[in-house]
Amino acid sequence: MTASTYGGRPNGGLPAEVTSFVGRRHEVAEVKQLLSASRAVTLTGVGGVGKTRLAVRVGQDVRRAFRDGVWLVELAELDGPAMLAEAVAEALEIRDHTGDTPMRVLTCHLRDKQALLILDNCEHMIAECAALSEALLRAAPDLRVLATSRQAMGIAGEQAVPVSPLPLPDLQVPLERLIRQDAVRLFAERARAVLPSFTVTEDNREVVTRIVRLLDGLPLAIELAAVRLRALSVEQLLDRLDDRFRLLTGGSRAVLPRHQTLRALIDWSYALCSQEERLLWERASVFAGGLDLEAAEAVCGEDGIDPQDVLDLVIGLVDKSVLIREDHPGGVRYRMLETLRQYGRERLTGSGCEPALQRRHRTYYRDLAARARAELFGPGQVAWFARLRREHANLRAALDSWLNTPEEARAGLSMSGDLLYHWITSYYLAEGRGWLDQALAADTEPSRVRAGALWAGSWLAIIQADMPAATALLEESRRLGEELQDEPVLAYVALFRGMVAMCEGRTEAAIELYRDALARHRRTGDPVGIALSLIRLTLAHSFLGDSSAAIAAGEECLAECEAYGEGWHKAYTTMALGVQVWRQGDLERATELEKQSLTFNRAVGDPLGAGVNIEALAWIAASQGRHERAARLLGVLETMWSCAGAPLSGYGHLARYHDDCDRAMREVLGEAAFESAVRRGARLPLEEALAYALEEDRPEPAKAAEETPLTRREKEIAELVAQGMTNKEIAASLVIAQRTAEGHIEHILTKLGFNSRAQIAVWVGERARANGHD
């Protein structure tokens, strides 16, 4: 055990391993604020995440507030709690000859002291550290305790602060911004320690970024990786990172043995778990991208773990920072850092239980996809869309597992078809088509499952404007449907053949096919098929100029959707009606309908639906004489359709309206002005583009920096507001009173004419862009 003191003594020194500190500005501000209000704060997180460095940095920053010093007590070398009080007394440099118990010596020494005690690495004797802290805090009213541990101590008044890995860098930002991102900075600093000439350049930026992302932004892993640059290039380091546990063994001999290798560090965490917690850790490693409690109980329960105990075990692993708790609108989820997941997977493989767990995992997600499909048309639809999106990594892993088990490939075929709406309403369209193609190739036997997967694949092909492939898929699906006398299959074949005909310009033939599909879907009682057929009939009748038929089909579809409490098909119906109302000349009503539809599609993250809405809004704007807006929306569409993979995906017959709008705006604005407006629209980030399309209120663009009415201090505070800091965090960061910070913010709002912090954040961003700092 080593002891260090600083701040309270003129000659106090820092441990060598924490003299360099990268980032963590928000965390430092938060911990400082909590220490000013609470007497016990515990930093929690997985081993290697930087809890010690953060604690020491906070100690450095607040040392002037503690008359009797800031003291670091490193507990990791203690094998057990027997010497805990002695270790603290030694760290405090107490020389006692009274013969009292160490605990009494401590309480007497600290009783009148104004000090901060940092208890580092409490996890292996968490109960004893909690008891010692409570006793000292009771005895010494001016004492503060800052602890680091895999889990909170659980004492009265304690504030727990989860410490996350460093944010993962964004490769898309300019180099000057990339090198300021914390994970990249840390890698570069440690690399220069072993290779003084190292620097992040345009040539190696992608490799460096991939390295730190592979390492989850975990500081210890980044440092251990950087040490390898003594012998490897960054490219070689990246190539070898898959075997990270073998490679990262070059830690400093000055640090504790378990910190010398990443495996040793994780072994330490593993040893702290109960037998059941270790089992859950291993079994949870089969999940990709996280899991929820339902999945944990279904996949990890039984065979040594009672399903009823899974909740308590999950809580235990969260407390030990093995699982990270994340709040989502649909509920709580848990994830493991990839490094910990790989460790658990190795142990699972070694136990011989991996095949059984993989089967449980893929079965669970096959059944989940089937449930989502069965509940597609109803009030739970949006929740299912969101849930499947959160589970995408697990869905992908399950499909891969099914399709790599030849005798069970049909389950993968069924699952890939059941996920049809997941592929369509997200950014996974091309991936979904790939899974369906792979599944169809893996299971070629005639079956209802195959027939359904064929027409599902045809829809994805239509959206991607691949009509030859769609036609071939539909022909085989039709043959199977006739052989099996499967009316639902034949209904969907008619529907999608109608879509192909519409895209090929055969509108009247399309209408006949849509009517055939609608009649068949009514006979089978399929509300999804009924809605899809009516939406397409609305668009087809509108295209032919048959307004009454178009309106009738659209209104019938709206009634069908509302009867079931359904939203997605309703949004597409509203879009189709908006197009028809625009053609009738009611521009205000058309705008209202398209914005209503876009609001829904934005909420569920459907790029295809949003793209068609923005198309219609561009045409409407042109009809209103809002030429600049129409051109900018056409620019937005360049981004939207690039994301979707094809222009007017699945609605190719509407391309005529797009071309007419493009041609008219070029003539009205002139080529140069038109191209300029299109570029401005294309440069908008997605959220700003959607807000522009919806004409949401936004502050006016900022004036140049020299014209701002704010003082230098007010500009500084505005920037902290834009970073998401609370008033307390701003006060702590600038070492001012919270009331002073609040007063500055009120002045900022008054001077800029704003009424919300969000407007300040937008103003700061606009000002940065206006001055070339984006």
SS (H, E, C) 212-264: HHHCCCCHHHHHHHHHHHHCCCHHHHHHHHHHHHHHCCCCCCCCCHHHCCHHH
The tokens for 114 are 């104004």
Cβ 663 vs Cβ 634: under 8 Å: no
Q: How far apart are CA 101 and CA 79, in angstroms?
A: 20
| CA dihedral for 353, 355, 358, 362, sign (positive or negative) | negative
pLDDT tier, 730 (very low <50, low <70, confident <90, very high otherwise) = confident
Q: Which of 354, 319, 386, 351 is nearest to 154 (CA)?
A: 319
Digit-coded pLDDT (tens) for 360-403: 999 999 999 999 999 999 999 999 999 999 999 899 999 999 99
Q: Which of 475-479, 726-730, 740-744, 768-772 has the lowest mean pLDDT?
A: 768-772
| CA dihedral for 197, 202, 204, 208, sign (positive or negative) | positive
Give the residue with greater pLDDT, 119 vs 732: 119
The rounded Cα 679 to chain-centroid distance in angstroms is 29
Digit-coded pLDDT (tens) for 551-575: 999 999 999 999 999 999 999 999 9
Phi, psi dihedral angles at 144 (to 5 degrees): -120, 145
Which one-letter amino acid corresponds to residue 716? E
Which range has highest mean pLDDT (5-19, 173-187, 615-629)?
A: 615-629
pLDDT of residue 700: 43
Cβ 565 vs Cβ 379: under 8 Å: yes
Rounded (5°) CA angle 623-627-633: 95
The tokens for 758 are 């969000």
Q: Which of 538, 454, 527 is nearest to 497 (CA)?
A: 454
Cβ 449 vs Cβ 414: under 8 Å: yes
**Cα dihedral value 652, 657, 660, 663, nearest 10:** -70
Which one-letter amino acid corresponds to residue 158? E
* Residue 140 reports pLDDT greater than 70: yes
What is the three-state SS of 140-196? CCCEEEEEEECCCCCCCCEEEEECCCCCCCCCCCCHHHHCCCHHHHHHHHHHHHHCC
pLDDT of residue 8: 37
Phi, psi dihedral angles at 105 (to 5 degrees): -60, -45
Residues 6+ positions from 378 with CB-CB distance below 8 Å = 564, 565, 566
Phi, psi dihedral angles at 726 (to 5 degrees): -80, 170
| Mean pLDDT on 629-653 | 81
Q: Which of 260, 646, 590 is nearest to 465 (CA)?
A: 646
pLDDT tier, 485 (very low <50, low <70, confident <90, very high otherwise) = very high
Q: How far apart are CA 12 and CA 25, in angstroms?
A: 24
Instruction: Give the H/E segment covering residue 70.
Output: strand 70-74
pLDDT of residue 770: 62
Residues 6+ positions from 182 with CB-CB distance below 8 Å = 22, 23, 24, 166, 167, 217
Q: Which of 135-139, 242-246, 526-530, 720-724 has the lowest mean pLDDT?
A: 242-246
pLDDT of residue 256: 60
Look at residue 737 and give its three-state secondary structure.
Answer: coil
Cβ 287 vs Cβ 361: under 8 Å: yes
Q: What percent of the chain has pLDDT over 90?
A: 61
Residue ranges in 670-711 assigned as alpha helix (H): 671-683, 686-694
| Mean pLDDT on 182-203 | 92
Q: How far apart are CA 26 and CA 296, in angstroms?
A: 33
Look at residue 710 and give its three-state secondary structure.
Answer: coil
Phi-psi region of 145 (alpha: psi -120 to 50; beta: other; left: phi over 0): beta
Look at residue 505 and give its three-state secondary structure.
Answer: coil
Instruction: Number of helices (H) and strands (E) in the chain: give both, helices first.
Output: 39, 8
Which one-letter amino acid corresponds to residue 250? G
Digit-coded pLDDT (tens) for 520-536: 999 999 999 999 999 99
Q: How far apart are CA 654 and CA 648, in angstroms?
A: 7
Residue 726 vs residues 40, 57, 119, 720, 721: alpha-carbon distances, Å: 21, 21, 28, 9, 7
Burial of 67 (0-12, 13-18, 19+ CB in 10 A): exposed
**For helices 507-524 and 487-503, what crossing angle results, to 10°?**
160
DSSP 364-413: HHHHHHHHHHHT-SSTTHHHHHHHHHHTHHHHHHHHHHHHTSGGGHHHHH
The tokens for 36 are 């000013």
The tokens for 69 are 């010093």
pLDDT of residue 705: 39
- Report the mean per-residue pLDDT for the chain: 87
Give the residue with greater pLDDT, 82 vs 291: 291
Residue 212 vs residues 44, 110, 181, 184, 206: alpha-carbon distances, Å: 22, 43, 11, 7, 10
The tokens for 256 are 């504790």
Give the residue with greater pLDDT, 148 vs 739: 148
Digit-coded pLDDT (tens) for 679-720: 999 988 888 899 999 998 654 443 333 456 788 788 888 888
Q: How far apart are CA 288 and CA 308, in angstroms?
A: 23
Digit-coded pLDDT (tens) for 756-774: 777 787 788 777 766 654 3
pLDDT of residue 10: 31
Look at residue 656 and give its three-state secondary structure.
Answer: helix
Instruction: Give the H/E segment covering residue 347.
Output: helix 338-351
Q: How far apart are CA 417 and CA 264, in angstroms?
A: 44
Q: What percent of the chain has pLDDT over 70?
A: 90
pLDDT tier, 242 (very low <50, low <70, confident <90, very high otherwise) = low
* Residue 117 reports pLDDT greater than 90: yes
Q: Which of 663, 616, 622, 664 is nearest to 637 (CA)?
A: 616
* Residue 222 reports pLDDT greater than 70: yes
* Residue 119 reports pLDDT greater than 80: yes
pLDDT tier, 47 (very low <50, low <70, confident <90, very high otherwise) = confident
Phi, psi dihedral angles at 690 (to 5 degrees): -65, -40
Look at residue 353 and give its three-state secondary structure.
Answer: coil
Q: How far apart are CA 213 and CA 196, in angstroms?
A: 23
Q: How far apart are CA 617 and CA 492, in angstroms?
A: 30
The rounded Cα 514 to chain-centroid distance in angstroms is 40
* Residue 4 reports pLDDT greater than 60: no
Give the residue with greater pLDDT, 220 vs 543: 543
Query: Within 13 Å of residue 51, how many CA atoms lie on the same side as its CB?
Result: 28
Rounded (5°) CA angle 379-459-395: 60
pLDDT tier, 228 (very low <50, low <70, confident <90, very high otherwise) = confident
Q: How far apart are CA 378 and CA 380, in angstroms?
A: 6
Q: What is the DSSP letter of 41?
A: E
Q: Which of 288-292, 315-319, 708-712 has the lowest mean pLDDT?
A: 708-712
Q: How far apart are CA 103 and CA 773, in angstroms?
A: 56
Which residues, in sequence order, are bridge partners of residue 147? 42, 119
* Residue 645 reports pLDDT greater than 60: no
pLDDT of residue 46: 83
Give the residue with greater pLDDT, 188 vs 269: 188
The rounded Cα 234 to chain-centroid distance in angstroms is 27
pLDDT of residue 666: 94
Burial of 59 (0-12, 13-18, 19+ CB in 10 A): buried
| Mean pLDDT on 329-343 | 86
pLDDT of residue 576: 96
pLDDT of residue 675: 93
Look at residue 98 and give its three-state secondary structure.
Answer: coil
Q: How far apart are CA 719 and CA 640, in angstroms?
A: 31
Q: How far apart are CA 488 and CA 448, in angstroms?
A: 10
